[in-house]
Structure 1
């Protein structure tokens, strides 16, 4: 018995020296919403009227409206019909991944037109005094890419920095890029330098859907990594890096460059919430909110709207709350 007790004590001592088993990452569920929940690649804003608007991929830029940010109603589309120039980029005039912002007394809605698997793509812009569906006037093409380019002009995201206007964009084709825009027209300046912000070291360089948020002395680049658009088989997840310059270099909290595959994991699929991505950030009553889509594993993989408040650590990094 003495030998057994000694053996047990030795075994316990060895186990105490071993590293603890890795714990699976846990993420908070999105806030509960009601009404029309189906959405893909959402961009959300609180309008000057006090109403919330969400625009998305689907339809002629699908629209949702809400009085409180929790109960959402289908509000049709941004446009009654596709502008004719969209058909240069796909046969159905199908727009993708809009981005809404407010500047110079009006709302600006950027969007992409393209076809799956090609970088023959373009980003356009429309303006509105109210930001409501049905009030948008298309202003035409902002920037484009062709099959000879190493970037893809989709997934626009607009940010201001130092009195200048910038547009991040990109998907695969070496990842996330950025160009400067003319503040008056909202379109790419002539001969704009195409800056490189993020990519992956492994083909097919699966990073896309940028969004850039200015907070304190840093610009934060949020992007979607891995595969979307496959329902419950989607592997989308959201990563983030930051820079003191809007054009980079962007690094994660360990100092790894986002041009070398870095990026802190902010949100990944969990439970019924599969393939979290297509994200944007909006500010409401002094709080930052992350808007994204997920594929509902309890509803045949239907894409739905996810909303989570963003909290910030003492060292200045976002986390999903």
Structure 2
């Protein structure tokens, strides 16, 4: 799961999120409810894509990259994992004996589905990011392509929480958690792996120990690159304090700043989504642009009506006139 301990940060300015919202849109502070979700929705760190056959598939942490499938984005069933049991990579055992993979990221490019994920020993830098590919994206069809990046005690980063950006023929991977936070490295778009020893760029961290920022994802919309990240404590049930923050830059490698101009290398980041009603500790997010004309924010939360269980949630994203994302109602 996306690495956590404790988190904290500044509140986004109301002005930035209240600028020229569409008619009927709630302010960011009200956090409209996500889309209804039913069935087997217990999932951590979801990443979601619509397959060629029209089904939605959400992969998440644990098991063999937990797979949940839906035909309507509402009713979900668990259908095994990304890997068939006989195809689980043996190298995982060098990094973990528990929990198996965490925090996957799925994308589609060059005629195949690319699934990045992490394996790690909890609370350590004994971590690695792996890649698997599939022609269909369906559960049980992924083939291991090996280790993309690893880390060990004393490294300046932790090799978990991958997310990739395909941008004009180039491929970038965001990763990292705690220690010095979130980083980015360029990958070879033909193989999905590193070529040579490309530089690793620092994108975000916190000035306060334990530097609790993780689960970074960079997307491109218009001329801006946006860095979404989770702050504070994940994975603690009703004690979770996760929240989602965002900054932007004119380049994929930053520097990323929030709407007040504060750098995400110094604790910046506008608050996009926090606690709301039964939806506690939202985070481990994945942004899906242009799904049927909608931009979606996919994440997990801890359900106060079900004892703090983690569940899948999908909210709709809108954009202010100034170009900042905001959670908006799922209808209208």
TM-score (norm 2): 0.88
Tell me the secondary structure at the aligned position of residue 188 of structure 1.
coil
1:44 has 2:39 as partner: no
CA distance in structure 1 between the partners assigned to 2:281 and 2:41 by the alignment:
16
1:292 has 2:299 as partner: yes
CA distance in structure 2 between the partners assigned to 1:252 and 1:50 by the alignment:
36
Shift of the 308–24 alpha-carbon distance from structure 1 to 2, 3 Å rule, reads closer
RMSD: 1.3
CA distance in structure 1 between the partners assigned to 2:265 and 2:168 by the alignment:
24
* Other-structure match for 2:138: 132
Deviation at 1:93, TM superposition (A): 6.9
CA distance in structure 2 between the partners assigned to 1:123 and 1:137 by the alignment:
15
Partner deviation per Cα, 1:106-141 (whole Å, 9 max, x = no partner): 000000000111011100000000000011111110
Long gaps (5+) in structure 2? 1-26
Tell me the secondary structure at the aligned position of residue 25 of structure 1.
helix
TM-score (norm 1): 0.91
8 Å CA contact retained: 2:62, 2:99: no
CA distance in structure 1 between the partners assigned to 2:38 and 2:202 by the alignment:
39
- Give the number of equivalent residue pairs: 299
* Other-structure match for 2:204: 198
Deviation at 1:148, TM superposition (A): 2.2
1:188 has 2:188 as partner: no
Partner deviation per Cα, 1:146-190 (whole Å, 9 max, x = no partner): 112110000000002342110000100111000010111101221
Higher Cα radius of gyration: 1
* Structure with bigger RCO (C-alpha 8 Å, 6+ apart): 2
Partner deviation per Cα, 1:32-79 (whole Å, 9 max, x = no partner): 111111110000001111111000002110001111111111111111
1:281 has 2:287 as partner: yes
Aligned partner (choices 313, 317, 320) of residue 324 of structure 2? 317
Deviation at 1:80, TM superposition (A): 2.6
CA distance in structure 1 between the partners assigned to 2:294 and 2:98 by the alignment:
38
Aligned partner (choices 255, 258, 269) of residue 275 of structure 2? 269
1:68 has 2:75 as partner: no
CA distance in structure 2 between the partners assigned to 1:260 and 1:93 by the alignment:
32
Long gaps (5+) in structure 1? 1-22
Aligned partner (choices 28, 34, 44) of residue 30 of structure 1? 34
Partner deviation per Cα, 1:2-43 (whole Å, 9 max, x = no partner): xxxxxxxxxxxxxxxxxxxxx993211111111111110000
Aligned partner (choices 90, 93, 98) of residue 87 of structure 1? 93
In the TM superposition, what are the counterparts of 1:31-180 in structure 2 within 5 Å? 31-81=35-85, 82-92=88-98, 94-180=100-186
